[in-house]
Amino acid sequence: MRWRFMLFLALSLLLLAALPLAQGAAAASIFDTHSPSGASIATLFWIVFGIAAVIFVGVEVALIAFTIRYRQRGNETGEPRQIFGNRRLELLWTGIPALTLAIVFGLMVVTMRGVGAGPVNDPNALTIEVIGHQWWWEYRYPDQKLVTANELHLPVGQPVHLRLRSDDVIHDFWVPALGRKMDLIPGQTNDLWVQADSPAVYTGSCAEYCGLQHAGMRLRVVADTPDDFAAWVAGQQRGEPPLSGDAAHGRTLFFQSQANCVSCHAIDGTTARGTVGPNLTHVGGRAMLAANIITNTPDNMVRWLLNPQVVKPGNRMPNLRLSDDDARDLAAYLESLK
């Protein structure tokens, strides 16, 4: 019975360990790095892991060997020979761990200095302000004069200076592929330098418990080629597209006082200047909704508008009690904002 239980336990542990692998490439992993600082953190991990593995195997082998070699045999009785102190051995087993820890500490300090320092005076660096909100991300590009939410675009191969702050409680920006994590703290600005090596979508999540929808505060970073990034910026700087039909009616609803969209949301170039919720100037062009928890489809937009609390319980957007038709028209308007 006992060995069966042990086998069951071992298999369960193996299965648990394999789970993150089964989730596939979409899962953010500290081993799948695409940035200089991510790579140096992963390298540090493997070095420390290697040192720890050598120690673990050495200690276990010695433990097992000594247990077998010096076990009590059947015909032996009484206490074994007692030994009191051995200066050379004691120096050795104090010195080796101290030296090992000193080496790990040194490597860690070097890595921390490397990933923490940004090219502060690099004229090529792009500055983006990241503001944490319960429970979404605001991104401001001061030099490009644009504001967006939940989908962070940056060009590959260029150092990006993220200036992190929070509007309410402490959040934490963590995209494992791009390196280390950093808190967003109310009343304080933290600096984080990131650089993406290859064009792709990198995911992450808020890494500091920040309330009910902490888990619904996902990160999505789109690393573009320089050309794609320039095209994205130009697209974000464009004004409202011409509208007709349902979308035009949706626009009327958006600016009506009953729906009250404008008291929380902004659409640049219009009278909508709310800052409580995400800036919606180009919401139709984003791949995801509700801080990256559902895909941005017209149906999902309608579902969200009809009752945001069903889609993301606890979020700050109230149920506007829209009719099905109004929700559909509003969704048509928002989806047209590409």
Contact positions toward ligand CUA, by CB under 6 A? 132, 135, 171, 206, 208-210, 214, 217
Comparing CB distances to ligand CUA, the nearer of 161 and 214 is 214
How many other CB atoms sit within 10 Å of the CB of residue 270? Answer: 15
Least distance (Å) between residue 204 CB and ligand CUA: 11
Of residues 173 and 232, the one with the C-beta less far from ligand CUA: 173
Cβ distance to ligand CUA smaller for residue 217 or 337: 217
**Nearest distance in Å: CB 167, ligand CUA:** 11
Shortest Cβ 163–ligand CUA spacing (Å): 17
- Please write down the HEC assignment for all residues of 275-308: CCCCCCCCHHHCCEECCCCEECCHHHHHHHHHCH
Look up tokens 């320039």; give the residue.
230
Helix boundaries (H) for the chain: 2-22, 36-69, 87-116, 226-237, 245-255, 298-306, 308-311, 324-336
Closest among 38, 314, 277 to 334, alpha carbons compared: 277
Minimum distance from residue 202 beta carbon to ligand CUA (Å): 18
- Strand boundaries in 178-241, DSSP class E: 182-184, 190-194, 200-205, 218-224
Task: Count Cβ neighbours within 10 Å for each residue of 154-188 and write b for 16 or more, e otherwise.
Answer: bbbeebbbbbbbbeebebbbbbbbbbbebbbbeee
Q: Which two tokens stand for residue 137?
A: 């991300």
Complex with ligand CUA: residue 165 or 171, whichever CB lies closer: 171
Q: Taking the complex as a whole, how short is the minimal distance between the CB of residue 136 and ligand CUA, in angstroms?
A: 9
| CB 274, min distance to ligand CUA, A | 21
Residue 131 vs 206, nearer CB to ligand CUA? 206
The residue type found at 90 is E
Nearer to ligand CUA, 217 or 327 (CB): 217
